[in-house]
């Protein structure tokens, strides 16, 4: 039970007045060891409230004193903020899959092989019609002046380049566009077109050398595409709105630190080092264990910091930055995997080339999660269809061990597709748990050592206001 | 060095560190990536 607790403490139906920490309606502070020599964290999980306390002061801080008093004053505000974030948002983005096909056959892809090998393109006419429908829909849901986001995603969207570019051209003023591509078709003219229209560009690369990168990302003939990606990276230098996704797997885990060097050298402004999703069985063949995944991932984060200290130029690891933001400014987080319910079906949804709608691209290979069709069905009704609600209704409170976990609103227990396919049902964790625990502990150590700014965008707190402060 | 890192402050360690910032949640975040920074229009 998360909703409402901090607003009910004086309600006659809940006789506890919340006078004591840890019982009744009192703050449910949980101390956690963050691996820091001087500080431990104290977390009130439902509100995602936290404080770092000197180890020797823990008992005093948790059982009384200014921390408890200050928290009580703000508890309702924090509860409302988290409630809005978890249950009060509307969709504002679409993963738009303009084709089922891909020219690569990556080990961990969540789109079934036969679809990628022989699937269909969305026609130019259908693609334009889709954008027209989405434009009309978002006009009814988003505030005036707020542009919805369209991310052309895959499979490989540039296999259907003519239709995609026609859509970007026609609806330039109606959406913020982005494209996630494997970069093999990202030639000079494509980059010129996309840069000229300020389209965000995401490309994929898993390792700093061909021999490693090509293990997981190769074409249907088994040939790697490392060199093609490097050429695209060189072309993108200087463009502020590009990034690289690295999928972290057993194959590249030990090379993440070198990959950070490589990205930094190539002036990548932002990267994501996403742990692979284990939705489809094939991807599980390269699943790393949690402990080594965390160890190497955190070493890579350390390396980004060393490089920043040395050169003054940051390489932001976006997925970690998002966890850091989830702690210090929950409403400012930008990615919606690490929150419960996740963003699938409630902050964004995915459109397949035939018009079928899914809560997230991760579900596109799972027909039982199709909620309807953009061309045939009413979109608001699709968003409330049983398949969508099975995802939007998945909450940490219903999952063990998440329901008792102090960091449940920093991690969010991703991912529902993975939980369902790998572990049998929605009310299960996904493939990783300790990996997220270690990231949160690392984030708290950065806070303790006053290094937060070094891991976030320069203007990360622009437009934010402080709602709590104690030191 | 276009953006020199700030030097770490050498200050007395605080007994408690706690802060929180907020903004209007946009809900525009995606799962994988893109459009994360505000530099694109």
CA distance B10 to chain A (A): 10
Q: Sorting pLDDT into bands at 50, 70 and 90, what band is A18?
A: confident
CA distance A13 to chain B (A): 31
Q: Would you call A299 an interface residue with chain B, using a CB distance cutoff of 8 Å?
A: no
Judged by CB atoms closer than 8 Å, whether chains meet at A51 and B2 is answered as: no
- Chain A (322-381) residues lying within 8 Å, Cβ to Cβ, of chain B: 322, 328-337, 342-344, 346-348, 360-362
Taking residues A181-190, report their average pLDDT.
Answer: 96
Q: Sorting pLDDT into bands at 50, 70 and 90, what band is B27?
A: low
Nearest-CB residue to B37 (from A241, A454, A463): A241
B contacts of A342 (beta carbons < 8 Å): 31
- Percent of chain A's residues with pLDDT above 70: 97
Q: What is the pLDDT of residue B41?
A: 37
Count how many residues are written for chain B: 41
Taking residues A439-455, report their average pLDDT.
Answer: 97
Judged by CB atoms closer than 8 Å, whether chains meet at A243 and B13 is answered as: no
Q: Sorting pLDDT into bands at 50, 70 and 90, what band is B4?
A: low
Could you say which DSSP state residue A397 is in?
G
- The answer to whether A355 and A373 have CB atoms below 8 angstroms apart is yes
- Distance CA(A438)–CA(A256), nearest Å, equals 16
B contacts of A329 (beta carbons < 8 Å): 20-23
Beta bridge partners of A51: A42
- Distance CA(A285)–CA(A283), nearest Å, equals 5
A/B interface, count of CB pairs below 8 Å:
194
At A359-403, the pLDDT tens digits run: 999 999 899 999 999 999 999 999 999 999 999 999 999 999 999
B contacts of A457 (beta carbons < 8 Å): 37
Q: What is the pLDDT of residue A280?
A: 87
Q: Would you call A59 an interface residue with chain B, using a CB distance cutoff of 8 Å?
A: no
Q: Would you call A63 an interface residue with chain B, using a CB distance cutoff of 8 Å?
A: no
At A320-371, the pLDDT tens digits run: 999 999 999 999 988 899 999 999 999 999 999 999 999 999 999 899 999 9
Judged by CB atoms closer than 8 Å, whether chains meet at A331 and B15 is answered as: no
At A134-174, the pLDDT tens digits run: 999 999 999 888 899 999 998 999 999 999 999 999 999 99
Three-state secondary structure call for residue B27: coil
With 90 as the cut, is the pLDDT of residue A437 above it? yes
Nearest-CB residue to A241 (from B25, B29, B40): B40
At A56-110, the pLDDT tens digits run: 999 999 887 899 999 999 999 999 999 999 999 999 999 999 999 998 888 888 8
Strands A316-317 and A270-275: parallel
Q: Would you call A446 an interface residue with chain B, using a CB distance cutoff of 8 Å?
A: no
Q: Looking at per-residue confidence, does A1 or A428 come out higher?
A: A428
pTM metric for this prediction: 0.92
With 50 as the cut, is the pLDDT of residue B38 above it? no
Q: B12, B36, B39: best mutation site toward chain A, by most A Cβ within 10 Å? A: B36
Q: Would you call A467 an interface residue with chain B, using a CB distance cutoff of 8 Å?
A: yes
Q: Would you call A80 an interface residue with chain B, using a CB distance cutoff of 8 Å?
A: no
Taking residues A424-433, report their average pLDDT.
Answer: 95
Taking residues A188-195, report their average pLDDT.
Answer: 96
CA distance A104 to chain B (A): 19
Token output for A61: 């801080």
Q: What is the pLDDT of residue A334?
A: 85
Q: What is the pLDDT of residue B5?
A: 63
Q: Would you call A270 an interface residue with chain B, using a CB distance cutoff of 8 Å?
A: yes
Q: How far from the centroid of its chain's Cα atoms is residue A229's Cα?
A: 23
- Distance CA(A13)–CA(A24), nearest Å, equals 12
Taking residues A223-238, report their average pLDDT.
Answer: 93
Token output for A19: 């006078």
CA distances from A20 to A61, A63, A258, A353, B18 (A): 13, 8, 50, 56, 21
Q: What is the pLDDT of residue A446?
A: 98
- Percent of chain A's residues with pLDDT above 90: 80
Judged by CB atoms closer than 8 Å, whether chains meet at A241 and B39 is answered as: yes
At A244-302, the pLDDT tens digits run: 999 999 999 999 999 999 999 999 989 999 999 999 888 899 999 999 999 999 999 99
**Nearest one of A133, A148, A30 to A92, comparing CA atoms:** A148
Residue the block writes with tokens 């000229």: A196
Q: What is the pLDDT of residue B39?
A: 46
Three-state secondary structure call for residue A370: coil
User: Quick one: closest CA in B to A85, which residue?
Assistant: B25
Residue the block writes with tokens 């953006």: B3
CA distance A304 to chain B (A): 13
Taking residues A3-29, report their average pLDDT.
Answer: 72
Q: Looking at per-residue confidence, does A408 or B11 come out higher?
A: A408
- Distance CA(A366)–CA(A345), nearest Å, equals 15
Q: Sorting pLDDT into bands at 50, 70 and 90, what band is A4?
A: very low
Q: Would you call A145 an interface residue with chain B, using a CB distance cutoff of 8 Å?
A: no
Judged by CB atoms closer than 8 Å, whether chains meet at A151 and B28 is answered as: no
DSSP per-residue letters across A5-28: GGG-TT-TTS-----STTSTTS--
- Distance CA(A440)–CA(A36), nearest Å, equals 12
With 60 as the cut, is the pLDDT of residue A443 above it? yes
User: Quick one: closest CA in A to B12, which residue?
Assistant: A471
């Amino acid at each position: 039970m998360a909703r409402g607790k901090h607003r009910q403490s004086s309600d006659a139906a809940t006789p506890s007045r919340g006078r004591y920490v840890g019982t009744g309606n009192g703050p449910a502070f949980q101390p956690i060891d963050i691996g820091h020599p001087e500080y431990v964290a104290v977390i009130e999980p439902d509100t995602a409230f936290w404080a770092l306390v000197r180890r020797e002061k823990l008992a005093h801080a948790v059982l009384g004193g200014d921390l408890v008093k200050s928290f009580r004053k703000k508890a309702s505000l924090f509860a409302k903020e988290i409630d809005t974030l978890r249950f009060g948002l509307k969709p504002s983005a679409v993963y738009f899959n303009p084709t089922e096909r891909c020219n690569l056959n990556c080990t961990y892809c969540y789109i079934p092989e036969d679809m990628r090998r022989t699937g269909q393109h969305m026609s130019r006419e259908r693609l334009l019609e889709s954008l027209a429908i989405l434009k009309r829909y978002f006009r009814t849901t988003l505030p005036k002046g707020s542009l919805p986001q369209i991310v052309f995603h895959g499979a490989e969207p540039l296999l259907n380049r003519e239709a995609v570019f026609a859509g970007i051209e026609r609806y330039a003023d109606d959406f913020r566009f982005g494209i996630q591509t494997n970069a093999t078709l990202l030639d000079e003219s494509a980059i010129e077109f996309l840069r000229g229209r300020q389209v965000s560009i995401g490309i994929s690369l898993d390792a700093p050398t061909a021999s490693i990168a090509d293990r997981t990302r190769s074409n249907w003939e088994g040939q790697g595409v490392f060199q093609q990606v490097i050429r695209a990276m060189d072309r993108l230098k200087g463009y502020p709105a590009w990034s690289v996704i690295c999928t972290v797997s057993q194959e590249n885990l030990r090379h993440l630190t070198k990959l950070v060097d490589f990205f930094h050298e190539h002036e990548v402004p932002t990267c994501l080092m996403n742990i692979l999703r284990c939705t489809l069985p094939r991807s599980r063949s390269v699943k790393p264990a949690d402990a080594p995944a965390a160890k190497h991932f955190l070493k890579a984060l350390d390396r980004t910091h060393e490089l920043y200290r040395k050169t003054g130029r940051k390489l932001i690891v976006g997925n970690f930055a998002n966890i850091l933001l989830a702690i210090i400014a929950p409403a400012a987080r930008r990615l919606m995997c690490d929150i419960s319910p996740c963003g699938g079906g409630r902050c964004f949804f995915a459109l397949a080339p035939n018009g079928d709608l899914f809560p997230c691209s991760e579900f596109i290979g799972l027909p039982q999660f199709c909620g309807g069709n953009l061309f045939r069905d009413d979109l608001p009704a699709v968003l409330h269809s049983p398949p969508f609600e099975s995802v939007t209704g998945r909450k940490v409170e219903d999952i063990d061990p998440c329901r008792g976990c102090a960091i449940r609103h920093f991690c969010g227990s991703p991912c529902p597709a993975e939980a369902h396919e790998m572990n049998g049902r929605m009310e299960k964790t996904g493939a990783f748990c300790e990996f997220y625990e270690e990231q949160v502990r690392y984030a708290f150590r950065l806070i303790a050592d006053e290094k937060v700014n070094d891991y976030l965008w320069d203007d990360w707190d622009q437009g934010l206001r402080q709602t709590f402060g104690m030191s | 060095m276009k953006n020199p890192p700030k030097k770490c402050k050498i200050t007395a360690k605080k007994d408690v560190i706690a802060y929180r910032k907020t903004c209007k949640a946009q809900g525009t975040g995606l799962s994988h990536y893109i459009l994360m920074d505000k530099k694109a229009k």
